[in-house]
Structure 1
Amino acid sequence: MRVHIACIGRLKNGPERTLFERYEDRIGKAGRGVSVGPLSVTELGESRAQRDDDRKAEEARALLAAMPAGAVIIALDEAGKTLSSAAFSHELLRLRDAGTGDIVFAIGGPDGHGNALLEAARVTLAFGPMTWPHQIARVLLAEQIYRAITIASGHPYHRA
């Protein structure tokens, strides 16, 4: 199962990019053994619309247009449900075992996701009730995908 992150905003050079690239590389290597990955990233620019609803709608259209046809969409949203790492791993493997070819994790812009994307999403997930900067949310997501792979493969990285 191919894993994609589609996001509004670009990750600039710096410690966040370095850490993200470390997990991206780990996902590519460790994921082969459990048929998850590689990880690809699509970065889209923020809308310049004046109203926040217009920005969210425009960004939602751009995100949806950038996704592979038939992909399962998981939206990251502060109002989404929270999962333990083990439950996240279980859900990722359940989708893989169901024959999912592509899974896309969508990270919206500063205003959040537009309704079109939220309606297209199979589920919305949150990294807790706090709001995280997008560059950190991307690193957290990559780490959790890697952790899910290590849980699936029995690697000692996850010590529950």
Structure 2
Amino acid sequence: MRLLLAAVGRMKAGPEAELAERYRDRALKAGRPLGFRSLDITVIDESRQAAPEARKAEEAAAIRRARSGRLLLLDERGRTMGSEDFAHLIGSWKDGGENAATIVIGGPDGLDQTLRAEADLVLSFGAMTWPHQLVRILALEQLYRAVTILSGHPYHRP
């Protein structure tokens, strides 16, 4: 299964980008033997529309063009889930024959309601608002953690 992280907005060079890349690389290496073929990051440009709803709609259209397979949105109003449950969800999609899953990090205005309605899951890392760069790191770390859980690697200790 192919994993895709689609993120609205660019990540600046620096230690955060290096850490994100480190987790992406770890997840990719640990996931390949399990059948996770790739872990790609697609950057969606922030909309320049004047109104927030128009910006969200334009970004949603770009996300739809980039999307592949299952759709998982990261949003503070989403459902919370433990790492083991997340791992088993991703694993069940792969084992169920899904070709791909797209994990989306929205822009500063959040995500369009129509996109939320299309999602297979809207997931939250907690009720707090997190900076975009940290959310990218958290998402990639959780993907790495998920593949280590699925492989029985001792990285995750409940």
Identify the TM-score tier after normalising by the shorter chain: over 0.9
TM-score by length of 2: 0.97
> Displacement of 1:117 after TM fit?
1.5
In structure 2, what is the Cα distance between the partners aligned to 1:61 and 1:123? 18
| Residue 27 of structure 2: aligned partner | 27
Cross-structure match for 1:15: 15
* Cα RMSD after superposing both structures: 0.9
Check whether the contact 1:77–1:112 (CA below 8 A) recurs between aligned residues. Answer: yes
Equivalent residues of 1:9, 1:43 under 8 A apart: yes
Residue 104 of structure 1: CA displacement? 0.1
- Where structure 2 has 5 or more consecutive residues not aligned to the other structure, the ranges are none
1:55 alignment partner in structure 2: 55
Deviation at 1:37, TM superposition (A): 3.9
**TM-score, with length taken from structure 1:** 0.96
Deviations 1:81-135 (A, max 9, x none): 0100011001011111111101000111001001231122111000011110111
- My pick for the range that moved more, 111-120 or 125-134, is 111-120
Contact 1:26 1:146 in 2 (8 A): yes
AA in 1 matched with 2:125: F
Task: Kindly provide the CA deviation profile for residues 52-100 of structure 1, in whole angstroms up to 9, marking residues without a partner as x.
Answer: 11111111011111223xx100011110001000110010111111111
Q: Kindly, what percent of the aligned residue pairs are identical?
A: 47
- Structure 1 portions without partners, runs of 5+: none
3-state SS of paired residue (1:103): strand
Conserved? CA contact 1:27–1:38, under 8 Å: no
Q: What residue in structure 1 maps to residue 70 of structure 2?
A: 72
Give 2:3's aligned amino acid.
V
Runs of 4+ deviating beyond 2 Å: none
